[in-house]
Structure 1
């Protein structure tokens, strides 16, 4: 049975109010840049546009999200491989209007289909039903907006008369531990859910994005998980091994030779953990009087680079092949998998908050300003 969602799901209010003209008179890029520009001139976005990943982040800690998130929703998030995109802040989006948005998107899909656009789903009938709901329990910071889940249902062509419709497309928008300076700089009419995850036909994905763009004056873009972010994930996931066995650390590298060479490198989990433990700084040595424990237990980019260098050095000693000349394209452990192409799959809910915190940061940095 589906859990009923509260209509009180929050769309965070912000401290900066910037006057905005009607949606019809300005494109997103004009209006959004003017808003952020005004906030910047008031010193509300200091240095955020440096466009680089954090050099230090908290070490992963276990989150028992099963106690907070609807089990059916969590099962969907966990069993699916998601294609990532970034999405700019949504103008006048309200979490209390999700039922209305569901009807609007259903009508939009029907209208697009009547125009002959590619919204066909193999084996499905022409009618689609949309469900948009809140995924409560994913919020980690006061400025984060509640995660939103979108599902599109349809009945198979040869299904029995009384057989219910089945999900044929799923997607969700989220913001987990978003940059507080940036989020607070946004005008109050903007809701920031920068990470968009989708699973399903490209035609339906394009239609959903088009509806969001037209309804909330936003824009979407591709989001790759670049070389540096993949190295971060390899280190963060390995750091979890003591509490949740990673079972293996599998990496796929590509080397710029002719023809291109793809290398699959699988590391025993105990060897990976020993190497990671050897490069980790002792929090007691790094700590100073009065520092918080969470700040002490942080991971620096230098540790990540030293860990990766150790892995590459081990590979070179055995195969005389220098992975430093190539690029990391995929990382897989028992906790999840991530690909340079922007595909992510989470296999352990205890550390999904850590993973999506990094991906939220990637989405915010990729957005045009």
Structure 2
């Protein structure tokens, strides 16, 4: 069978599903997602959304985080990893860490390690703290890292350019877990990177040797992609999402990719119909998310007789951001950074080795 790529845009005023009264937003549920390789287990809690649906300016994150630092995080695609707690990491030692990592990269390069960033004269590393993202007093402050280089044949006055960026963060981390850690450990479980893979490998290697930690890939499973799709759709009355695009991969031979584009007003009306009577304004329940996705899938099946629920949701995108099953995410709006980082922090903590 040839690979097919279908695109569907919803008509307005579809039949809307009946609201349900049962809510799980205050409980933790075990969820098992079937993939084409194995079964991935995890926990989902209620995902908070900003109260900015009616007054977004009052929750503008640039009022609590330096706008220049916010600009470093948004409108860029990041590759996600998880990292175990860092032993003897200190936010007061960031200048020392900058020098140590710089020396480590130069040393590895001198030993003949290929670093795929061109002809560089040298590397400089900057560690800095992004103040204001932490939601509780147990969350460690976010750490941002930049690697800069100057081209070997560049002019003397040429400024160094950023060749790699990364950051470690913890937003609304599980309190029981964070309180159980010995004082010598700092938990920054979510690691986001952007730049050559060779430099990412070096940075991870330095962290593992220096802070006795380990890294692992952090994918975003279908369930969490559904959460993000619901979150961004729920923002539509405040910030126009412009479109909602979802991509499923179906288990055919060869696999078939289906691209499903939804009119933003249609998506929001369906989402609003799923909002439960007893749901608080700043929470999303798992039932609401499931009902929303089922409504989209049912509409597609009526038109094309293709059951999307038989496949895996691989990619979602709106004007507010995009996310991919492989662990890539782009956040386009600073208003929703804390909410998204809360979800990703939870995903990272759930991936920790036992």
CA distance in 1, matches of 2:350, 2:90: 24
- Report the CA distance between 1:368 and its aligned residue: 0.3
CA distance in 2, matches of 1:261, 1:220: 32
- Counterpart in the other structure of 1:149: 144
| TM-score normalised by the chain length of structure 2 | 0.85
1:117 correspondence with 2:113:
yes
CA distance in 1, matches of 2:149, 2:283: 46
- Report the CA distance between 1:53 and its aligned residue: 2.5
Which of 234, 245, 250 is the aligned partner of 2:229? 234
Identify if the C-alpha distance between structure 1 residues 157 and 319 changes in structure 2 by more than 3 Å, giving closer, same or farther. farther
CA distance in 2, matches of 1:161, 1:126: 11
- Counterpart in the other structure of 1:52: 42
* Paired residue secondary structure (2:309): helix
Identify if the C-alpha distance between structure 1 residues 71 and 53 changes in structure 2 by more than 3 Å, giving closer, same or farther. same
- Report the CA distance between 1:58 and its aligned residue: 2.2
Q: Which moved more, 1:172-181 or 1:57-66?
A: 57-66
CA distance in 1, matches of 2:110, 2:346: 39
- Counterpart in the other structure of 2:65: 69
Structure 2 gap ranges (5+): 1-27, 32-40, 53-58
* Paired residue secondary structure (1:128): strand
- Report the CA distance between 1:72 and its aligned residue: 2.3
CA contact (8 A) 1:140 1:176 kept: yes
Which of 337, 352, 359 is the aligned partner of 2:344? 359
| TM-score normalised by the chain length of structure 1 | 0.81
1:127 correspondence with 2:117:
no
CA distance in 1, matches of 2:297, 2:236: 20
- Report the CA distance between 1:157 and its aligned residue: 3.8
CA distance in 1, matches of 2:286, 2:209: 40
Which of 314, 332, 349 is the aligned partner of 2:317? 332
1:299 correspondence with 2:284:
yes
1:80 correspondence with 2:76:
yes
* Paired residue secondary structure (1:357): helix
List aligned pairs for 1:238-317, cutoff 5 A. 238-283=233-278, 297-317=282-302
Which of 161, 170, 184 is the aligned partner of 1:166? 161
- Which protein has the bigger strand share? 2
Identify if the C-alpha distance between structure 1 residues 261 and 49 changes in structure 2 by more than 3 Å, giving closer, same or farther. closer
CA distance in 1, matches of 2:116, 2:309: 44
CA distance in 1, matches of 2:215, 2:175: 22
- Counterpart in the other structure of 1:9: none
After superposition, the CA RMSD in angstroms is 1.7
1:145-194 Cα distance to aligned partner (Å, 9 max, x none): 00000000001244221011010000000000100110000000000000
Identify if the C-alpha distance between structure 1 residues 185 and 49 changes in structure 2 by more than 3 Å, giving closer, same or farther. farther
* Paired residue secondary structure (2:314): strand
- Report the CA distance between 1:55 and its aligned residue: 4.1
Higher relative contact order (CA 8 A, sep 6+): 2
CA distance in 2, matches of 1:265, 1:95: 45
Structure 1 gap ranges (5+): 1-46, 287-294
CA distance in 1, matches of 2:281, 2:239: 22
CA contact (8 A) 1:238 1:276 kept: yes
- Report the CA distance between 1:48 and its aligned residue: 11
* Paired residue secondary structure (1:332): strand
- Counterpart in the other structure of 2:99: 103
CA distance in 2, matches of 1:312, 1:352: 28
- Report the CA distance between 1:364 and its aligned residue: 0.2
- Report the CA distance between 1:97 and its aligned residue: 0.2
- Counterpart in the other structure of 1:29: none
CA distance in 2, matches of 1:49, 1:105: 40
